[in-house]
A and B are shown apart, each in its own frame.
Chain A
């Protein structure tokens, strides 16, 4: 899988607009690590289905799914990004997809129907960053308590919290 192959594939499928190709790692002697940067939410699910089903790629495993908050990040155009890490067991190739989007609309399509492994990872990103994955069947908090209201991994969330841990009930010696 070369850079030109991916570029040609994306151009034929989606046209020349709405995506970018970036190099994550360019170590001499090792294969280049390609990253597709998407800015159009509508194209995400189509791209994921193509990457999984197209006999040219067959990315059959979702290795990782993570959310990033780029608040106050130099040269960042959008605030939020969701990174998908894919692996093809047939060819051993890896590919990264980065979905970039901005406030106030924090809804992106869920890829849990493409790879069921995305279910819990999307719940974690929703819990910690507040990104809503549309089409997820069970989008609940997975790390924080259910009564939590904030999304604590956002960069504008204070380290000591916003009073959540001070609001816990108190048990005394007299309680039985």
Chain B
């Protein structure tokens, strides 16, 4: 919440004497300072819940270890209780039997809460696109930051943590960010060629196979 530079006396309810305007402005400054302080605290003490189901979890462990040292970003307190966690790291493929468990873990997290979908499997099911694996957890629960890679390097996970930190500072950031390449993946895994950039649409591109039946 930033200080509104266009704030004038006419926006105050009623016509107040001088003193009340000062009090009103002080309230706004106090609210801004409080929000700033809360954001600063949240940003630098993200407690992750590692939901590691596959090899991405190994990279997650490497990120928490001394070489990459997730503590530099204040996120070293890995909590296995959703009640104590702020960020959910979904690292690995999620099968249909596990999805209700993951949703319940998400619902048990206290707000504000963020979700990082780590790796190709959690984001799209990757090479495990079968009846048993959820084709991207974002179809069934909210996701704030996606990390590409199979598995992603620890630097990519650190970048995702920094992206969460930027999100905390500016909650509207997600609406401003441009989609990479402007590609739209439909639900049946076919690329809509109308959305392809001109450089790509001229070439014959690989059409992903649809439902094999």
A residues near B (Cβ < 8 Å) are: 144-145, 152, 157-162, 164-165, 168-173, 175-176
Contact = CB atoms under 8 A, between A and B. Distances in A.
Interface size classification for chain B = 20 to 34
A28 to B, nearest CB: 41
Contact of B100 (A157, A159, A169): A169
A145 B142 contact: no
Given A165-B135, A168-B100, A168-B134, A160 B211 contact: yes
Nearest to A145: B97
Contact of B107 (A152, A159, A168, A176): A176
B212 A168 contact: no
25 contacts: A144-B132, A152-B131, A152-B132, A158-B131, A158-B211, A158-B213, A159-B130, A159-B131, A159-B212, A160-B130, A160-B131, A160-B211, A161-B130, A161-B132, A168-B99, A168-B134, A168-B140, A169-B103, A169-B140, A171-B106, A171-B107, A171-B141, A171-B142, A175-B107, A176-B111
B193 interface: no
For the complex, would chain A's binding face be called helix, strand, loop or mixed by DSSP majority?
Answer: loop
Nearest to B125: A165
Given A160-B212, A164-B96, A170 B131 contact: no
Interface in B90-133: 96-97, 99-100, 103, 106-107, 111, 129-133
B107 A157 contact: no
A20 to B, nearest CB: 35
Contacts of A158: 131, 211-213
A169 B99 CA distance: 9
